[in-house]
Amino acid sequence: MLTAAQITDMIDSGAMTWDGELRGDALLLRLGSPLQPLVSPGTPMVIDLADQRSIDALYRSPRPDWHSFDLKSGQLVLCPVAQPLRLGAMLAGAIAGLSHVARLGLATHVTSPWVLAGWHGHLTLELRNHGPATLRIYRGMPIGRLIVFPLSGPPGKSPSHPFYGKTDSPLGSRFADEFPSDEYLR
């Protein structure tokens, strides 16, 4: 992984862009806007992953002007990182939560922590409260970090993602749009 000095050198040389802070040898990730809640835990519904309208029904309206939000136990919300990130073609990253919030039961990503080489845009965090109590979160609060790694060889083709990372992109899943059901339902 890169050290803080190496990250600073990468930023200064233009190999990556980051206007946010560093915390140790990582980028400090703060909550941005909008915040997008999913339906309440326990809501009876079946989401058909082959149908984008079904997937879209899982999401409540984004809250662009949010200041604070009470994240109930078991609840999941989506929220972009406040600062955009651009990784050069020879850099990749891994999202990690801050142990302070993890010890309260707050997870900052649900599965894949990886940020591929060439990423450009706002990372979206999947915040889930695994703890027993409601947690109040705030826009701008530090929530995680991104560890940056150099690639050890030439990268594979890494085009910009057609659905995620742009300021006006939806935060929710675009699974059925990217992987049409005619590719796997036969």
- Burial of 7 per CB tally in 10 Å (0-12, 13-18, 19+): buried
pTM, two decimals, is 0.90
So what's the pLDDT on residue 55?
92
In a domain, 10, yes or no: yes
In a domain, 160, yes or no: no
Query: How many domains are contained in the chain?
Result: 1
In a domain, 35, yes or no: yes
So what's the pLDDT on residue 145?
97
In a domain, 143, yes or no: yes
CB neighbour list of residue 70: distance below 8 Å, 6 or more residues apart: 134, 135, 136
Question: In terms of residue numbers, what domain contains 27?
Answer: 4-154
So what's the pLDDT on residue 165?
63
So what's the pLDDT on residue 164?
67
In a domain, 8, yes or no: yes
Mean pLDDT by 10 residues, the chain (186 residues): 97 97 97 95 88 93 97 96 95 95 93 88 95 97 97 73 66 85 80
CATH, residue 62? 2.70.40.10
